[in-house]
Amino acid sequence: MVIALSDMKIFNSIKWRLQIWYGLILVSVLTGFGLTAFQLERSRQFRRIDEELQRRFSAITMAIRPPPNRGLNANRQSPERPLGRRPDDLTPPKSGRLQTDLHLPPQVLALFDTSDRNNFFYSIEFRDGRDPLRSTNAPNSFVETRDFSPSPPAADSVNPPDARPKIPQPATPQTSGMIREIVQKMPQGMDAVVRVGCSIAPEMNELQITALKLAGVGGVVLFFGLTGGWWLVGRALKPVAIISTTAVKISAGDLSQRIEVDEAESELGQLAAVLNSTFARLESAFAQQRQFASDAAHELRTPVSVILTQTQAALNRERDAAGYKQTVEACHRAAQRMRKLIEALLELARYDAGQEVLKRLTFDFSRTIAGCADLVQPLAEDRGVKICCDFSPLEIIGDPERLEQVVTNLLTNAIQYNQPAGEVTVRLAAEVGLAVLTIADTGQGIAPDDLPRVFERFYRGDKSRTGGGNAGLGLSICKSIIEAHGGTIEVMSEQNIGTTFIVRLPIQS
């Protein structure tokens, strides 16, 4: 059971699976290459031997071929007539049959020199029962088999007068054990079986050595290939182990951990970069969540403390009707502040969850802006701020009530944080399918360090910009509404010069 579990772990490992697959491919390639090289070498060796056998076979058949027939009378020669001639008789026989006292020329016998490593040998077996003519090194097993089948009768159509018997092409060499030979029956008129063979033991030994060399080279290549493959796979998968280790630390609560990868341009390096970016956003989100919870608790604690203080004071001693009324009014103001804060938090939560349903209506955005300007006009007059509007009719598709909330909030901030007798400029223009709303004030501006964080929830960098009951959620809600419409909002500011908010909304959504 332990072995089975271990095997399962091996096959579940990407490193082992890649190594096994790479090893199988390497073994297949090396095996195919080795077998091909061995077969080519074997074919080359046997082709050389076969060429030598055919050359010797041709030399013997040419040497034993009888002279041409001298006429029809010669073909009627009695078979009982002796075929041999004395060595000193140089007159050629008048028969087309083999000579009785056949001798091979010295140049042919030189081809069967016993000092040759292949030990070539020959044997000529006669069908008429005469003793075979063979070399001294011919093995016994080579001469045991004889073909004593009768020769077919001679015919002039086969061997016409004054023509020698036709020599056939050498037969295909055959292998028997460590012997390779050519066995060929001679045609009518020669009445013999010629065998030429040799030992292939030297070639087989060479082939065996070649096979061992190929196996050794293949083993060395396989060893270094598997070792190099293991190193490469380990190096390639090293970022995976680093990613896994870092993810474990992050899951344990250490969100500051990041993945360190040497090869940033590789696929895993790019993955590590993406994960690092994800971890950074995750850390930022957790930090914002903690800050959000802390700020929300802080904002809610103030009105709750007011309510508790007022009610406790009212319970501690008797008061007249005016005193109780004052206490109730203070609790009411604190409750109103809590209600606004809770509504703002619920609104942001709906936008974050994508549950806020926006209307999709076609309306004149300029009329909405004009209505918002009229709504905040009393606040502007109270602070001595002048509102200057510069816009023409422009229809867009969106939720008029939510966009009115955005414009009102931005105008209120521009008036509240403006200089006495300052000015607020409102412009609306169309740019390449976008409605661009610009609201600029001549107020105190925003510090450069606080500018990137003005849209963060509960963020209030400059205490002088904190109005009564301001929880720091207005701009966050504005950004959520604009982004829900597919638009963008950005801010530019210079201290003691003013602040400009730019809202871009698609005309067609």
Contact 459, 475 (CB under 8 A): no
Q: Are residues 349 and 428 in the same domain?
A: no
End-to-end CA distance of the chain: 63
Q: Are residues 197 and 273 in the same domain?
A: no
How many Cα atoms sit within 13 Å of 112 on the Cβ side?
24
Q: Are residues 19 and 113 in the same domain?
A: yes
Q: Is there a domain that residue 295 lies in?
A: yes
Q: Please say which residue of 336, 353, 370 terminates a domain.
A: 353
Quote the CA–CA distance of 385 and 500 in Å, as a whole number. 16
Contact 390, 427 (CB under 8 A): yes
Stretch (H or E) spanning 225:
helix 201-251
Quote the CA–CA distance of 325 and 311 in Å, as a whole number. 11
Quote the CA–CA distance of 455 and 476 in Å, as a whole number. 5
What CATH number has the domain bearing residue 497? 3.30.565.10
One-letter amino acid of 404: E
Q: Are residues 216 and 300 in the same domain?
A: no
Q: Is there a domain that residue 373 lies in?
A: yes
Partners of 363 in the beta sheet?
A: 396
Specify the pairing of strand 434-441 against strand 498-506: antiparallel
Q: Are residues 346 and 386 in the same domain?
A: no
Q: Is there a domain that residue 162 lies in?
A: no
User: What pLDDT shows up at residue 141?
Assistant: 55
Quote the CA–CA distance of 243 and 236 in Å, as a whole number. 13
Specify the pairing of strand 434-441 against strand 395-398: unpaired
Render each residue's pLDDT in the chain as its tens digit; 509 residues: 444 444 556 667 777 888 888 889 999 999 999 999 999 999 999 999 999 999 988 888 888 776 665 444 444 444 433 333 333 433 444 444 455 456 788 888 888 887 778 888 888 888 777 777 888 888 765 544 444 444 444 444 445 555 555 666 777 888 888 889 988 887 766 678 888 999 899 999 999 999 999 999 999 999 998 898 888 888 877 778 888 888 888 877 777 788 777 766 777 778 888 888 888 888 877 777 776 677 677 667 777 887 888 888 888 878 788 888 888 888 888 888 788 778 777 777 777 666 667 888 899 999 999 999 998 998 898 889 999 998 888 999 998 888 998 999 899 989 988 988 899 999 999 888 899 999 999 988 888 888 888 887 776 665 554 444 456 678 888 888 898 889 999 999 988 889 999 999 998 75
User: Tokens standing for 507?
Assistant: 């005309």
Interior angle at CA 166, CA 163 and CA 172, nearest 5: 170
Q: Kindly write down the DSSP assignment for every residue of 53-112, as one continuous string.
A: HHHHHHHHHHHHPPPPP--HHHHT--TTS-----TT--SPPSSSSPPTT----HHHHGGG
Q: Is there a domain that residue 258 lies in?
A: no
Q: For residue 135, what are the contacts with CB-CB under 8 A and spacing of at least 6?
A: 112, 121, 122, 123
Q: Are residues 366 and 472 in the same domain?
A: yes
Q: Kindly write down the DSSP assignment for every residue of 259-303, as one continuous string.
A: ---S-TTSHHHHHHHHHHHHHHHHHHHHHHHHHHHHHHHHHHHHH
How many Cα atoms sit within 13 Å of 184 on the Cβ side?
24
Q: Is there a domain that residue 262 lies in?
A: no
Q: Are residues 324 and 379 in the same domain?
A: no
Quote the CA–CA distance of 179 and 444 in Å, as a whole number. 111
Q: Are residues 179 and 295 in the same domain?
A: no
Quote the CA–CA distance of 354 and 352 in Å, as a whole number. 6
Q: Are residues 235 and 317 in the same domain?
A: no
Contact 436, 392 (CB under 8 A): no
Contact 120, 112 (CB under 8 A): yes
Partners of 420 in the beta sheet?
A: none
Residue with tokens 């606040």: 379
Distance of CA 362 to the CA centre of its chain: 50
Q: Are residues 343 and 235 in the same domain?
A: no
> What does pTM read for this prediction?
0.48
Q: Is there a domain that residue 145 lies in?
A: yes
Domain count, the chain: 3
Q: Are residues 430 and 398 in the same domain?
A: yes
Helix, strand, or coil (residue 207): helix
Q: Is there a domain that residue 29 lies in?
A: yes
Q: What is the 3-state secondary structure (H, E, C) of 128-151?
A: CCCCCEECCCCCHHHHCCCCCCCC
Quote the CA–CA distance of 279 and 258 in Å, as a whole number. 7
Task: Please give the residue range of the domain that contains residue 118.
Answer: 1-65+99-152+167-240
Contact 499, 415 (CB under 8 A): no
Quote the CA–CA distance of 507 and 509 in Å, as a whole number. 6
Q: Is there a domain that residue 26 lies in?
A: yes
Q: What is the 3-state secondary structure (H, E, C) of 416-468?
A: HCCCCCCEEEEEEEEECCEEEEEEEECCCCCCCCCHHHCCCCCCCCCHHHCCC
User: What pLDDT shows up at residue 39?
Assistant: 93
Q: Are residues 33 and 60 in the same domain?
A: yes
